[in-house]
């Protein structure tokens, strides 16, 4: 994001006044929010945190935050503290030295914050209020009202800023009554806790789940809708509120959710008309045509068919809706395998890569892979993806790679155990043979990698540099068992190639004898009779058949090795490549010579 972006987080959890209850959430929430807002891949804000400050310091920092800004700036102010209401009904934010009977002198009035927002030259201003409005204070505080609601948004929605392009306020709840127990606020289990709101904000931005429209950016509306749902699910008594005066969308963060979004090409008008026909068979035929379009290599065409099939599955009669649902089931993500075990790996070693194949039509193979742990590494391949791990940290590793497609999600579970580099240990599946240095992690331990996986011809993500060429991955099955199918096929191909060479030699030997015999017979002889007498054609035909079979079986072995790489060890893969190469080297010359011999016989037969 190119504009200048600044955030000020004010978090107060300790108060000098004994009547104000200590809060548990603000310090942890401030640290988590600072991290996600400052992350250049998410918020990209310049963040400042003010923790347990006095009212005077808070006012200075707030006014300084809004001063000397430009129209291109975006400002975000976050409060996590007690909210108190004066006898006149005005909202105040409690500072560490706040005295409830002296709110005007020892707390920060909401009117002061609204005034700073109104005069700033910044183009966009956002205010987050995560406060227990009314808070907790001594029963003897005569200048503070002990009951009644405080309408928070009314404190900010009165005046539109005189300059800039807009402002917005999102609050954890709009009003809350005071509650007492003796001289302290009652610990009412139904009262909203400040951490619920801020935790939802952090989680929505960090995971990208707040990107509700999957456009790669988290807008203010996206975030509010996400936070509203999360808070209401956790505490039905707490209802976040929003007020805004904005021109256009305000994007608060980049989304690392990485969901696939394809601009669909609608189906032809004739097909759409058939979908809405009153004739049952016509609609049924439309579904069958949509099924064919769902398999299309052009993803926008397939996506258009998917959207139409979803409409049919929702709205049509049961039989046709069932057909549409069955068709949609064929584009669900189907990674194979969905569980990878790297076994025991010495720290600092380079583990083998393990491959995951994506099955199904092009639309089903088009997805993004997002590791949930920083030690997981993912690279796209022509048939799916390759998985490797960072062995810098000892211990048992267990993590997931989340695959997100156009219609659903899937998870690949990954396990490994990293042992001390010099300690004794067995070698498990996928363990590297050398104890060389581990591959460096890309972007630090906290970076969450997102990789685009798609069918052949899918362009790489524009924000991800092309991966450097890698050697072909060699892995084992998750259970440690080696499949022998490809080596067995390669051995059969070699045997057929040898048989082809043997039968060719036999055919040539008999052909030579037949030609010599024909020469001795003179004008009375026939080459056809001599060839038939010595049986030269039979081994020649066998040579052609066995040579062709050798090439076919060898191709099947290589294809199986390429699509099921994770089922073979390095030795099995190497032997397969060697045997198929030898078989090919023998079979092709044998076929060429056999064909030439057959042509020579057919051309020369009438003249002999």
Tell which of 329, 354, 374 closes a domain: 329
Greater confidence (580 vs 178) lies with: 580
Choice between 433 and 521, residue whose per-residue pLDDT is larger: 521
Percent of the chain past pLDDT 90, that is, above it, reads 13
Angle ∠(67,70,74) on CA atoms, nearest 5: 90
Under 8 Å between Cβ of 453 and 367: yes
Residue 42 domain flag: yes
Is the pLDDT at 441 greater than 50? The verdict is: no
Percent of the chain that is helix, strand, coil (3-state, to 5): 40, 20, 40
pLDDT grade for 595, boundaries at 50, 70 and 90 = confident
Instruction: Answer yes or no: is 458 within a domain.
Output: no
CB 131 within 8 A of CB 113: no
Q: How confident is the model at residue 422 (pLDDT cuts 50, 70, 90)?
A: low
Task: Calculate mean pLDDT across residues 410-423.
Answer: 83
| Domain containing residue 405 | 336-453
How far apart (Å, rounded) are the C-alpha atoms in residues 126 and 33?
14
The pLDDT of residue 565 is 62
Residue 459 has pLDDT above 90, yes or no: no
Both 206 and 342 in one domain: the answer is no
Please tell me the predicted confidence (pLDDT) of residue 10: 94
Q: Shortest CA distance to 124 belongs to which of 87, 60, 74, 89? A: 74
- The answer to the question of residue 40 being in a domain is yes
**What is the band of 51 on the pLDDT scale with cuts at 50, 70, 90?**
very high
Distance CA 314, CA 305 (A): 14
- Higher-confidence residue: 177 or 163? 163
pLDDT at 587 exceeding the cut of 90: no
180 and 274 both lie in a single domain: no
Of 491, 511, 498, nearest in space to 579 by CA? 491
Establish if 466 belongs to a structural domain: no
Q: Is there a single domain that holds both residue 348 and residue 322? A: no
Q: Would you say residue 285 lies in a domain?
A: yes
Residue 580 lies in a domain: yes
Q: Which residues of 348-371 are buried (b: 16+ CB within 10 A; e: fewer)?
A: bbbbbbbbbbbebbbbbbbbbbbb
* Across 270-287, average pLDDT: 89
Task: Provide the mean pLDDT of the chain.
Answer: 77
**Among the listed ranges 94-98, 144-148, 296-300, 558-562, which one has the minimum average pLDDT value?**
144-148
- Output Rg (C-alpha) for the chain, integer angstroms: 36
Q: Same structural domain for residues 248 and 353?
A: no
State pLDDT tens for residues 195-208. 688 888 998 888 78
Indicate whether 90 belongs to any domain.
Answer: yes
Please state the φ and ψ torsions of residue 480, each to the nearest 5 degrees.
90, 0
Which has the closest alpha carbon to 89: 143, 140, 137, 138? 143
Same domain, 30 and 71: yes
CATH number for the domain harbouring residue 215: 3.40.50.1460
Domain count, the chain: 4
pLDDT at 462 > cutoff 70? no
Q: Which residues pair with 345 in a beta bridge?
A: 418
The CA distance from 407 to 297, in Å, is: 17
**Residue 96 three-state SS:** coil
Q: Are 42 and 253 in contact (CB under 8 A)?
A: yes
Pick the last residue of a domain from 302, 329, 356: 329
Within 430-484, residue ranges assigned H as helices are: none
Confidence category of residue 101, pLDDT binned at 50, 70, 90 = confident
Concatenating the DSSP letter of every residue in 51-69 gives ES--HHHHHHHHHHHHSS-
Answer whether 246's CB lies under 8 Å from 165's CB.
Answer: yes
pLDDT at 136 over 50: no
Q: Which element (helix H / strand E) includes 533?
A: helix 527-534
Structure confidence at residue 506 (pLDDT): 86
3-class DSSP state for residue 344?
Answer: strand
Question: Does 259 fall in a domain?
Answer: no
Task: Identify whether residues 225 and 291 lie together within a single domain.
Answer: no
Of 137-151, 165-179, 287-301, 479-493, least confident by mean pLDDT is 137-151
Nearest alpha-carbon partner for 66 in 126, 123, 117: 117
The tens digit of pLDDT for each residue in 326-341 reads: 988 888 888 999 999 9
Whether residues 206 and 80 fall in one domain: yes
Range among 287-291, 363-367, 402-406 with highest mean pLDDT value: 287-291
b/e map 269-307, b = 16+ CB within 10 Å: eebeebbeeeeeeebeebbebbbebbbbeebebbbbbbb
Would you say 493 and 405 are in contact if contact means Cβ atoms under 8 Å apart?
A: no
Is residue 47 predicted with pLDDT exceeding 90?
yes
Q: What is the DSSP secondary-structure string of 537-587?
A: HHHHHHHHHHHHHHHHHHHHHHHHHHHTGGG--HHHHHHHHHHHHHHHHHH
Structure confidence by residue, pLDDT tens digits, 61-79: 999 999 989 888 999 999 9
Spatial contact of 518 and 526, defined as CB atoms under 8 Å apart = yes
Cα 476 from chain centre:
25
Instruction: Give the pLDDT confidence score for residue 154 in this predicted structure.
Output: 59
Domain finish residue from 254, 283, 300? 254
Given pLDDT bands bounded at 50, 70 and 90, which one contains residue 453? confident
Give which of 195, 84, 194, 79 is closest to 137, Cα–Cα: 84
- Report which of residues 508 and 421 the model is more confident about: 508
Q: Are residues 324 and 341 in the same domain?
A: no
Among 88-97, 238-247, 544-553, 568-577, the minimum mean pLDDT is found in: 568-577
Question: pLDDT value at position 574?
Answer: 75
Mean pLDDT for 241-246 is 81
308 shares its domain with 281: yes
pLDDT score of 431: 42
| Helix residue ranges, H only, 235-279 | 269-275
What angle do the packed helices 220-234 and 194-207 form, to 10 degrees? Answer: 130
pLDDT reading at 398 higher than 80: yes
Whose CA is closest to 61, among 16, 98, 112, 2? 112
- Buried/exposed 53-86: b ≥16 CB within 10 Å, e otherwise: bebebbbeebeebbeebeeebbbbbbbbbbbbbb
Res. 403: pLDDT tops 80: yes
CB 476 within 8 A of CB 568: yes
248 and 308 belong to one structural domain: no
Crossing angle (nearest 10°) for helices 570-604 and 537-563:
150
48 with 8: CB under 8 angstroms?
yes
More confident residue, 343 or 208: 343
Taking CA atoms, 484 is separated from 396, 568, 572, in Å, by 30, 8, 7
Instruction: Label each residue of 401-412 as H, E or C.
Output: EEEECCCCEEEE
Q: How many CB atoms lie within 10 A of CB 123?
A: 22
Same domain, 135 and 185: yes
Indicate whether 302 and 156 sit together in one domain.
no
CATH number where 439 lies = 2.60.40.10
- Could you report how far apart the first and last alpha carbons of the chain are, in Å? 86
């Amino acid at each position: 994001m190119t504009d200048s972006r600044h955030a000020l987080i004010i978090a107060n959890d300790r108060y000098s006044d004994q009547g104000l209850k200590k809060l548990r959430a603000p310090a942890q929430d401030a640290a988590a929010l600072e991290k996600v807002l400052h992350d250049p891949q998410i918020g990209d804000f310049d963040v400042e945190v003010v923790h347990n400050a006095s009212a005077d310091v808070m006012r200075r920092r707030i006014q300084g935050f809004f001063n000397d800004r430009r129209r291109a700036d975006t400002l975000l102010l976050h409060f996590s503290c007690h909210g108190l209401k004066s006898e006149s009904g005005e909202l105040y934010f409690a500072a560490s030295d706040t005295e409830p009977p002296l709110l005007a002198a020892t707390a920060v009035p909401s009117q002061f914050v609204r005034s700073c927002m109104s005069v700033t030259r910044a183009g966009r201003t956002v205010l987050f209020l995560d406060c227990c409005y009314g808070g907790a204070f001594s029963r003897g505080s005569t200048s503070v009202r002990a009951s009644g609601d405080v309408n928070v948004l009314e404190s900010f929605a009165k005046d539109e800023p005189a300059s800039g392009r807009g402002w917005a306020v999102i609050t954890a709840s709009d009003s809350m009554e005071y509650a007492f127990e003796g001289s302290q606020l009652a610990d009412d289990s139904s009262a909203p806790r400040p951490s619920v709101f801020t935790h939802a904000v952090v989680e929505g931005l960090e995971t990208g789940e707040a990107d509700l429209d999957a456009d790669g950016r988290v807008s203010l509306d996206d975030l509010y809708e996400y936070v509203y749902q999360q808070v209401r699910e956790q505490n039905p008594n707490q209802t976040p509120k929003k007020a805004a005066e904005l021109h256009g969308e305000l994007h608060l963060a980049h989304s690392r959710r990485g969901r696939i979004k394809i601009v669909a090409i609608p189906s032809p008008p004739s097909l759409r008309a058939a979908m809405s026909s009153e004739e049952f068979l016509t609609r049924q035929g439309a579904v069958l045509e949509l099924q064919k379009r769902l398999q299309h290599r052009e993803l926008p065409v397939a996506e258009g068919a998917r959207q139409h099939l979803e409409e049919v599955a929702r709205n049509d009669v049961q039989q046709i809706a069932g057909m549409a649902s069955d068709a949609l089931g064929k584009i669900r993500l189907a990674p194979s395998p969905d569980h990878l075990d790297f076994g025991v790996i010495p720290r600092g070693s380079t583990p083998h890569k393990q491959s995951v194949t994506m099955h199904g039509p092009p639309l089903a193979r088009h997805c993004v892979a997002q590791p949930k742990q920083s030690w997981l590494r993912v690279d796209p391949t022509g048939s799916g993806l390759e998985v490797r791990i960072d062995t810098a940290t000892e211990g048992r590793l267990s993590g997931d790679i989340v695959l997100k497609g156009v219609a659903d999600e899937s998870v690949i579970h990954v396990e490994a155990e990293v042992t001390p580099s010099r300690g004794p240990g067995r070698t498990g599946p996928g363990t590297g043979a050398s104890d060389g240095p581990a591959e460096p992690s890309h972007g630090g331990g906290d970076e969450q990698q997102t990789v685009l996986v798609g069918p052949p011809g899918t362009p790489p993500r524009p924000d991800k540099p092309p991966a450097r060429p890698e050697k072909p991955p060699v892995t084992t099955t998750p259970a440690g068992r080696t499949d022998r199918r490809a080596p067995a096929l390669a051995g059969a191909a070699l045997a057929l190639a040898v048989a082809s060479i043997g039968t060719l030699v036999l055919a040539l030997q008999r052909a030579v004898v037949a030609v010599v015999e024909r020469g001795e017979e003179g004008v009375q002889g026939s080459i056809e009779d001599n060839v038939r007498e010595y049986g030269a054609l039979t081994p020649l035909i066998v040579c052609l058949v066995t040579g062709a079979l050798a090439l076919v079986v060898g191709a099947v072995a290589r294809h199986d090795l390429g699509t099921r790489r994770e089922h073979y060890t390095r030795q099995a893969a190497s032997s397969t490549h060697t045997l198929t190469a030898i078989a090919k080297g023998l079979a092709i010359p044998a076929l060429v010579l056999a064909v030439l011999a057959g042509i020579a016989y057919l051309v020369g037969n009438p003249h002999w």
